[in-house]
Each structure stands twice: as C-alpha cells, then as structure tokens.
Amino acid sequence: MKERIKEILRHYHKNRIVDGKLTPSAVIVPLFYREGECHICFAERSDEVDFHRGQICFPGGCREPGDACLLDTALREAGEEIGLNAEDVEVLGELDDNLTVTTGYVICPFVAFIPYPYPFKLDRREIKEIFSIPLSALIDKAVFREEHQTFDGKTITVYFYEYEGHVIWGATARILKRFIELLSSEGGALQ
C-alpha cells in the first residue's frame, strides 16, 4: 500500500493557498503498518496550548524563520511535539493546503510512513496523548458525519470522524477526508 500511496501522491496536483495574511504551517500525516494493517497516527493537543486546546491533530505547527521550507517545519514540529526524528520519516507526498477557520493558519500536510513500534517522546505541554486508528476503520462511513455550521455569517461544512471516543474535526478532518477520497478513487490504494 505504501508504494501505491506514494504513486497517487506523486501524480496528484495539490491545491495551494497563497495568502500573506495567513500564518503558514505544516503537519505530518504519519502512517505505519501494525499487524499487516495501515494505521494513521494522531495527537491530542493539551489544555495548555494557546490554540486548538484538546483537539485531535496531526503533529506539526507554524513555520519559523529558520525553516528552509514547510517540510522542514513539519519535521521540526513533529520532533518537538512527539519526538519523531526526521531521519525516521519517509515522505510520500503532499495533500491540499487547508485553512483553519478561526485562527488563520494555512496548513500544508505531508503524508509520511514511520517505523512501528516507535519510541515517541511527547512534549506534555503541547500534546496530551498520541493514538492511532486503522485506515480501514476511517473508511467506514459509520464513523463519518458532516454538519453545516455558520461562522462569520457564512455557512460552512464541518466534517467529523468518531472512533473509540476520539472525535476528529476541523482542518484535521478535512485533511483526512481528502486523503481517504484520494485513496478510494478509481485506481486508488483502497480499490
């Protein structure tokens, strides 16, 4: 599956968002095999962070002046937040840029494979816990729902994935939904 995902992303033309008013950021969408099945790793933000407290996310954060590119941002932040070493990350490709509705971030997601098991080391000020969900469970339509909500006078669609007590929503759910759509499309990795 890893090679098929890499091939899909290699041919995918991502949507980029370029807006100087938005804060550039990047995340790693960490995939790994456990017992022959592909899993996606998620983090739950702590209650001590400034933004997105308690929300489920992918490891990552804001670009800093020393970051040469957004991939450097994602790798640096993943290292700081969950102890993921850059040399252990095999980047497969990028997904569409995403906006955070309330905080003005534009997120560049990088899909990557990591070894399993992995000796994660959490920064407890930023991350409360990490967990994984089998990709096969996220494809199940029973764990997915969408709602229409109004924000600043505009109606937006909000996606939710609920699995074993975890609720994934917002930008993380949008990134996840697009990834699953790519893998489920004709000729995708899930066909």
150-171 pLDDT, tens per residue? 988 989 999 999 999 999 999 9
Pairing mode, strands 23-34 and 105-113: parallel
Closest C-alpha among 42, 38, 14 to residue 28: 42
Domains of the chain: 2-137 (3.90.79.10)
CB 112 within 8 A of CB 93: no
Per-residue pLDDT of the chain (191 residues; tens, 9 = 90+): 999 999 999 999 999 999 999 999 999 999 999 999 999 999 999 988 666 567 999 999 999 999 999 999 999 999 999 999 999 999 999 999 999 878 899 999 999 999 999 999 999 999 999 999 999 999 999 999 999 999 889 899 999 999 999 999 999 999 999 999 999 986 777 76
120-140 pLDDT, tens per residue? 999 999 999 999 999 999 999
